[in-house]
Amino acid sequence: MGSKALTRVFLMQSIFTTSLILADAPLDCFSCTDITSVDDCHTTKTCLPSQSCYTEKYTQDGNAVFTLGCKEKVFCQGLDVTHLFGRRETSCTQCCALHGCNKYLCPLRFTAAPPPVDGAWSDWGPWERCSSTCGIGLQSRYRKCDNPPPASNGRLCLGDAKDVGLCNIPCTAGECNDLIDCSGYYRPEACNGIYSPWAHRYCPAHCGFCPTVSTPPCIDTIDNCKEYQSDVCTNQAFWQWRESHCRKYCGLC
């Protein structure tokens, strides 16, 4: 091998060795304890090869206090040591790996975490279209937790974001038909009370909810309606009987 080639190999080995030395060389970091301003730190310390520079800020008696120095790299693993790696409500700790790089890692803007903001509901939006085109159906409306939205670990809104209600679309005589075979359901029990929404939806003709072409006459078909108990006009169980016998007396017309 010629002299030029030997010289080139020697230079490459020297550069590689120097790089290793520089990579493992200890850092000179600012080192101060419990100071109120990082500008007051003028002392440096040479760290061990296994250490990086760090700054920690915390609150003491309501004032920001700083400690600067060397920290084992094991506490800075798994992160880019030139960036923030940990922050708590009243403290901030950062690592870096350059000489004297730890003087301004935790600025004063991290003095305290912002206060939590609890979320609150906005107003309900409009009702959506009824699910039925004839008779009883369902419709929904929504609201958002954005008045204000929760922030800084604030509480989420309590309650539901969706509200569901009944809607009733009047049917015409021509479109008022039962959707199922309702002949097996007994009236009026299957048509009123808790079953009323279901009955309006599926059995309107069977239950007598369809509009009629002609209005029944406003008369009582018996002469002793007043002799019955008063709930004959209000109790849902008697609806079919009073429609047929005491329409005028019960004020249905």
Helices (H) and strands (E) in the chain, counts: 3, 9
Q: Which CATH number fits domain 115-169: 2.40.128.20, 2.20.100.10, 1.20.120.420, 2.160.10.10?
A: 2.20.100.10
Strand partners, 117: 151
Widest pairwise Cα distance in the chain: 136
Q: Which CATH architecture has domain 23-110?
A: Ribbon (2.10)
Res 197: pLDDT: 79
Rounded-to-integer distance, Cα 109 and Cα 236, Å = 69
pLDDT tens digit sequence for 65-115: 889 999 888 887 644 444 343 433 356 788 888 898 888 887 654 445 678
The domains spanning 23-110 and 115-169 adopt the same CATH topology: no
Mean pLDDT across the stretch 127-143? Answer: 83
- The chain-wide mean pLDDT, for the chain, equals 76
pLDDT tens digit sequence for 213-249: 556 678 888 888 888 877 888 776 677 677 778 888 8
Query: H-helix or E-strand containing 162?
Result: strand 162-169
Rounded-to-integer distance, Cα 95 and Cα 198, Å = 67
What is the residue extent of each domain of the chain?
Answer: 23-110, 115-169
Comparison of pLDDT for 42 and 198, the residue scoring more: 42
Q: Check: CB of residue 43 under 8 Å from CB of residue 67.
A: no
Rounded-to-integer distance, Cα 247 and Cα 165, Å = 31
Res 3: pLDDT: 47
Alpha-carbon distances of 156 from 59, 89, 104, 147, 164, rounded to whole Å: 29, 20, 36, 11, 21
Q: Which of 89, 90, 59, 93 is nearest to 76 (CA)?
A: 93
Coil, strand, or helix at residue 132? coil
